[in-house]
Amino acid sequence: MPDRVHGELFALSDASIFATVTGNGPPLLLLHGFPETHLMWRDIARLLASRFTVVCADLRGYGASSCPSTVSDPLAYSKRAMAKDMIELMAKVGFGHFMVCGNDRGGRVAYRMALDHSGLIEKLAVLDIVPTDDSWNRADDRFALAFWPWSLLAQSPPLPERLIVGAPEAVIDQALEGWGSSATAFPPEVKRAYVQALSDPDHVHAICEEYRAAASIDREHDAEDRIADRKIDCPVLALWSATGALAEWYSSEGGPLALWRQWSDKVEGCAVLGGHFFPEEHPRDTAETLARFFGGPGTAL
C-alpha cells in the first residue's frame, strides 16, 4: 500500500489471511476481486481512513493469504467458507459488527457474509456483480465470451492452472486492459504485484478452485436461500460500470437493482463511470460514494 500501511498475516481456524488495517472510526472491510489483491484498495483505503477503520484483506487463495487444501474439505473455496474467514478476521482485529464492501469475487464473499451472518453485517456494498446463481441462470453467448474466467477457471484441473501459470502476464494484460478500464489506472508496481500473485502454482490452483465452487456449491447455496426466502437484512448498495456488461445485459429485467431487490428490501445504487475496475480508475469518486453510504447522509471525505 502506498502509505506503507503495516500488513499482518492473521492465523484463523481454517486459513491464514493477510490484511492491512488503517484509519479510525466505524469498521469497514474491503474485499478485492480477480485478478487483484488487497492492493486494489490502495487509494480508496487512504481516502476512507479519515472516517473509518479500514481493513483490506486478501481472500483465501489470493495474494499473501494461505491456500487451504480441498482434499480434506471439498467446500474449502465456497463463498460460505471464505465468508467465515472474514468474520473470524474481523473478530481478531477487534470487531464483532462491521460494514463490508466487495468488488467482483469479493462482492460474492460479501453478500454471502450478509446472508450467513446477518446479525454481524451492518451495511453491504457490492461492486459490479449480480448474485452468482442469477449470473449462471442468465448465462448466454455474451456471458461465455466476456466472462471467460467463469468457464475457463472452472474446468477440471490441471488445464486452467497450467494455462495461467504459463502466461500470468497475458492474463493480467487481458483483464486489466480488456474489461473496459484504462490501462493507466494500474501503476507498473501494482501490475507487477498482480502478475506475481498469478505466478504461484498453489495460489493459481486455489483461485481455480474458487471459480469451480462458484459454478457448483455457491449456486446451490444461493438456490437454497431463494427457496427458503432468506434475504439480506442490512442496507445494500449496488454499483456497476455504466459501460460494462451489467448495464446492458439485464435491462429487460429492470437492471442490476431489480435483481438485487429480489434478495433485499433495502437496496439502492446506480451505474458509475469507468470499466469493471472502476474503484482503481476512479478511486475518489468511488470512495466518496462509499463514504456517503457507509457513513450516512452528509458524510464527506
pLDDT of residue 5: 65
Catalytic, out of 32, 38, 203, 276: 276
The single-letter code of the amino acid at 57 is A
Among 289, 295, 300, 296, CA closest to 126 = 289
pLDDT in tens, the chain (301 residues): 544 567 999 999 999 999 999 999 999 999 999 999 999 999 999 999 999 999 999 999 999 999 999 998 999 999 999 999 999 999 999 999 999 999 999 999 999 999 999 999 999 999 999 999 999 999 999 999 999 999 999 999 999 999 999 999 999 999 999 999 998 999 999 999 999 999 999 999 999 999 999 999 999 999 999 999 999 999 999 999 999 999 999 999 999 999 999 999 999 999 999 999 999 999 999 999 999 999 977 677 7
- Sheet arrangement for strand 27-31: 7-11, 16-23, 53-57, 27-31, 98-103, 121-127, 236-241, 267-272
Q: Is 282 a catalytic residue?
A: no
Catalytic, out of 104, 133, 218, 222: 104
pLDDT of residue 1: 54
Q: Which residues are CB-contacts of 89 (< 8 A; sequence separation ≥ 6)?
A: 10, 12, 17, 19, 29, 55, 57
Residue 299 CA to residue 301 CA, distance in Å, equals: 7
DSSP category for residue 34: T
Q: Is 104 a catalytic residue?
A: yes
